[in-house]
């Protein structure tokens, strides 16, 4: 694998609206991020991905962009962003923007002009269609947020526009070369401004299977999941390669794609030596709790499913490229609440989960608050307590699937994206130290117990453990092995034991007992030194134990193997 400048980086995702409010309006902003750059530098962050801060009506929290060239006043100004880029560079932190180009906002100038003249040049920037005979929709695709993908075009009773997400997010027509030219111009404008690269949103959706046609209905609403169409859509590579040539490769920028359902044979094209993207997120573990029907029952064999999914993902890309590793983001519930049984949730198990994904091959991404072990919200009593535009469809589907209202709300509590979007818990003070005003979204009531101030100077805290993990990744003695070393699962068949080796100029063992019951790990070589562990007693015993290690519940360790 040809070495790239970003291979050894640690990335951090900020959801700006909930990170730090600098002006007392209850909304996080760019100046709040600038205030906390020293904190991020102390943590060891190299790349900072910002969820959208462009001008937006915020129908989908900024993923509905009305002006790609300007900053929403709620977050600040272009001058603020320039200062953030400059201050980041002083600390060797590169700024990564969110690139949202499957769709824009219905308040974007392009869509306004399309409404004025659907048959004109801007009408061709979108998918605008007539009804089929008998007032039928062009096709029966279901939006990701529920309901039809088609919405009447304002002012035109005979026409509809396509939106695979929210109705205020009309899809852009990538088949139109003039539209693509405008997008590439915008991308290069931002790269020339000094950002390090982009996280690329929902990009797999830009290629539609045309002409529009129905698919077998998969729910009682008579509609079909958009994913059924995407499986048959071909030719996206032409768009992605063109975008890489016109923008990313010229700037040697860092790009991470939000990609789903890619074929094994396409992996070299996506993240290979000269792929469309630098890397793409490993979402493998986010599917282990998906069911065909709504349920609040715990996932059976959670630990084994997590192991098998993550190991399989990294075996798939072995020798091809690197994935970007996550346990949560702004679109998922909190990882510790999702992947650790509720009765086992503790600082120790949180550290174990962090340690496992951090030592996998790839670029580790930390989502804000993850480094202090932020958890899901408590069970909500009403949808009105939350904000996410996806909640109503999640609730409606739960009721359709036979859950009671109480169970449906419990499901929302488990799955809602709002779990990850509550304000960062800086302290146990008023509003968790996030703002002097009432925050735009409810605080997690656990903030008095889980906050940065409480953990910052505690060497045994979750925060301190993340610092140690980052320090280990950057340790010159082990860095090359952690970044480029072979990935070899070890004792893979042993239930709830998550163990693998990283091998290059060093031989490193990563072992986690992913259960509350103790179990024995038999090694085929001796431990030379324990590099990090969430159990101080274990660290002392391992080097004396020869090749037989007793792991207590949720024990985790990284060790160098070999003779003294």
pLDDT digits (tens, 9 = 90+) for 176-216: 999 999 999 999 999 999 999 999 999 999 999 999 999 99
Evaluate whether 363 touches 279 at the Cβ level (below 8 Å): yes
Q: Which of 258, 387, 418, 555 is catalytic?
A: 258
Catalytic residue among 46, 72, 171, 201: 201
Mean pLDDT of the chain: 97
46 is catalytic: no
Residue 76 banded pLDDT, cuts 50, 70, 90? very high
* Residue closest to 52 by CA, chosen among 68, 32, 36: 68
Give the relative orientation of helices 177-192 and 236-243 as an angle to the nearest 10 degrees. Answer: 30
- pLDDT grade for 261, boundaries at 50, 70 and 90: confident
Q: Is the pLDDT of residue 290 over 90?
A: no
Query: Is the predicted pLDDT of residue 235 greater than 70, yes or no?
Result: yes
Q: Which CATH class is domain 484-561?
A: mainly beta
Q: Which sign does the torsion angle of CA 165, 168, 169, 175 carry?
A: positive
CB–CB of 204/261 below 8 Å?
yes
* Confidence class for position 564, pLDDT limits 50, 70, 90: low
pLDDT at 496 over 90: yes
pLDDT for 134 beyond 90: no
38 an active-site residue? no
C-alpha to C-alpha distance for 317 and 386, rounded to whole angstroms: 38
In the predicted structure, residue 405 carries a pLDDT above the cut 90: yes
CA distance 488 to 500: 5
> 490: which residues sit within 8 A by CB, 6+ positions away?
499, 500, 501, 509, 511
pLDDT at 563: 77
Instruction: List the domain boundaries for the chain.
Output: 381-415, 484-561
Q: What is the pLDDT of residue 474?
A: 98
Question: Mean per-residue pLDDT for 246-273?
Answer: 96
What per-residue confidence (pLDDT) applies to 292? 80
> Read out DSSP for 320-355?
T--EEE-S--TTS--HHHHHS-GGG-SHHHHHHHHH
Distance CA 188, CA 69 (A): 11
Give the pLDDT confidence of 538-555 residue by residue, as tens digits. Answer: 988 887 767 889 999 999
Backbone angles phi, psi at 542, to 5 degrees: -60, -45
Model confidence pLDDT, tens digit, residues 329-376 = 999 999 999 999 999 999 999 999 999 999 999 999 999 999 999 999
How far, in Å, CA of 393 to CA of 399, rounded?
Answer: 10
Which residue spans within 355-482 are E strands per DSSP? 363-367
């Amino acid at each position: 694998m040809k070495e790239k400048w970003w291979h050894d980086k640690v990335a951090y995702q900020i959801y700006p609206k909930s990170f730090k409010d600098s002006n007392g309006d209850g909304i996080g902003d760019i100046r709040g991020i600038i205030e906390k750059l020293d904190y991020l530098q102390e943590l060891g962050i190299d790349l900072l991905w910002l969820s959208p801060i462009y001008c937006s009506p915020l129908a989908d929290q900024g993923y509905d962009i009305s002006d790609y060239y300007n900053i929403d006043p709620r977050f600040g100004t272009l001058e603020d962003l320039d200062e953030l880029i400059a201050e980041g560079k002083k600390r060797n932190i590169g700024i990564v923007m969110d690139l949202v180009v499957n769709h824009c906002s219905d308040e974007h100038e392009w869509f306004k002009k399309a409404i004025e003249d659907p048959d004109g040049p801007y009408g061709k920037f979108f998918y605008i269609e007539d009804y089929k005979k008998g007032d039928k929709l062009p096709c029966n695709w279901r939006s990701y947020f529920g309901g039809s993908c088609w919405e009447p075009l304002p002012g035109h009773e005979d026409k509809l526009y396509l939106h695979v997400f929210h109705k205020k997010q009309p899809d852009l027509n990538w088949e139109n070369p003039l539209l693509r030219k405008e997008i590439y111009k915008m991308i290069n404008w931002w790269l020339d401004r000094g950002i390090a690269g982009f996280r690329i949103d929902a990009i797999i959706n830009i290629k539609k299977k045309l002409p529009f046609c129905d698919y077998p209905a998969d729910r009682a609403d008579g509609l079909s999941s958009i994913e059924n169409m995407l499986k048959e859509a071909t030719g996206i590579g032409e768009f992605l390669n063109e975008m890489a040539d016109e923008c990313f490769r010229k700037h040697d920028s860092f790009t991470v794609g939000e990609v789903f359902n890619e074929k094994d044979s396409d992996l070299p094209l996506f993240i290979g030596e000269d792929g469309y993207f630098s890397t793409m997120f490993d979402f493998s573990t986010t599917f282990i709790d998906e069911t065909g029907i709504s349920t609040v029952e715990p996932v059976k064999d959670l630990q084994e499913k997590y192991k098998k999914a993550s190991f399989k993902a990294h075996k798939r890309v072995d020798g091809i490229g690197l994935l970007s590793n996550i346990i949560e983001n702004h679109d998922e519930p909190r990882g510790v609440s999702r992947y650790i049984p509720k009765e086992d949730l503790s600082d120790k198990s949180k550290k174990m989960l962090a340690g496992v994904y951090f030592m996998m091959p790839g670029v580790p991404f930390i989502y804000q608050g993850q480094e202090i072990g932020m958890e899901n919200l408590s069970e909500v009593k009403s949808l009105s307590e939350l904000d996410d535009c996806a909640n109503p469809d999640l609730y409606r589907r739960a009721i359709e699937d036979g859950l009671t209202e109480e169970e449906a709300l419990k499901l929302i509590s488990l799955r809602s994206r709002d779990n990850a979007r509550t304000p960062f818990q800086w302290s146990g003070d008023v509003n968790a130290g996030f703002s002097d005003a009432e925050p735009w979204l409810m605080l997690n009531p656990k903030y008095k117990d889980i906050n940065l101030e409480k953990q910052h100077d505690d060497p045994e805290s979750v925060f301190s453990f993340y610092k140690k993990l980052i320090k280990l990744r950057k340790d010159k003695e082990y860095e090359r092995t952690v970044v480029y070393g072979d990935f070899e699962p070890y004792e893979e068949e042993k239930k709830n034991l998550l163990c693998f080796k990283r091998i290059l100029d060093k031989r490193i063992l990563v072992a986690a007992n992913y259960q509350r019951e103790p179990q024995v790990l038999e090694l085929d070589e001796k431990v030379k030194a324990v590099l990090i562990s969430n159990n101080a007693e274990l660290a002392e015993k391992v080097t004396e134990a020869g090749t037989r290690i007793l792991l207590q519940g949720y024990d985790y360790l990284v060790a160098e193997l070999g003779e003294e």
